[in-house]
Structure 1
Amino acid sequence: MSDESAAAELPPGMSTENTLLDLMGIVVTEASAERVVATMPVKGNVQPYGLLHGGASCVLAESLGSIGSALHAAAYGKVAVGVDINATHHRAVREGLVTGVATPVYLGRTTTSYEIVVTDERDKRVCTARITCQLIPAPPGS
């Protein structure tokens, strides 16, 4: 885990090491139930035309919404699992870093919803996504 992501307050037992986030170069820089922020390089996360892959934006969005949901769920002794995601891709990006910021739309006892805004280095909106998570009882030993 990088020093930056280690500084972020991730849910108990959660690590980005050896995960899809790690593979895609996603670095979590801030994490709370009220706001989750991370960066992701465009390089290595592109489609055949050299543009940021829409699926990469979705991975970033789902990861941030899931981390926020997990932090909220922990207060109820639960874990969060994604049940729905949608995304609108607004503009293409060819290089640099994108930044995702997740903020809650709804924080309940059984479900959460987050809006995630992905921007480029010029602070131009690249993607807007929404994820809904279900909060379920934590598995034994977690």
Structure 2
Amino acid sequence: MDFTQLSFDTPVELINQAIKDTLVGSLGIEITKIEEGKIEGLLNLSAKNSRPGGILHGGANLAMGETLAGLGSMLLVDMNAYDVLGIMVNGNHTGVLKKGKALAVAKIVHRGKQTHVWNVDICNEEGRLISSVRVTNMITEKNDR
């Protein structure tokens, strides 16, 4: 998939196919819904994304947050002219996931010319918050590097 052609009309199945052989895919992160300023995803708890003892690894929460926020920013800019670079990820883990799925909703809270800030709430299947992740993406012109 050519991510420069990414749009809100891109089927999530196509996006998930394109990311399946990346870190995102190996952790089991799936995109479930895309719309302007909001991205949703899920992660099934497995041995690949848990820490010893079977609890979801906090790093998997951060990876899911950065993935959804990065995709959201990519959808908001012209990827032929700009790159989206994650420059800060901060997470507060408020609970644990011992079974089932982690469900994430990323919402943009600042859409500037050079930065986007996203908040990603990750909950268990009962809706209890397990992690809140803040992501800052830098928007750079492709010829800036």
TM-score (norm 2): 0.83
1:1-142 matches, within 5 Å, as 7-8=11-12, 15-44=18-47, 45-74=49-78, 77-138=81-142
Q: How large is the RMSD of aligned CA atoms in angstroms?
A: 2.4
Q: Secondary structure at the match of 2:18?
A: coil
Provide the identity percentage.
25
Task: Give CA deviations for 1:32-91 in whole Å, capped at 9, x if unaligned.
Answer: 341100110111211112211000000000100110111112278312100001000001
Structure 2 unaligned regions, length at least 5:
2-9
Structure 1 unaligned regions, length at least 5:
none
Give the number of aligned pairs. 133
Structure number having the greater helix percentage: 2
Q: Is the 8 A contact 1:10 1:71 kept in 2?
A: no
TM-score (norm 1): 0.84
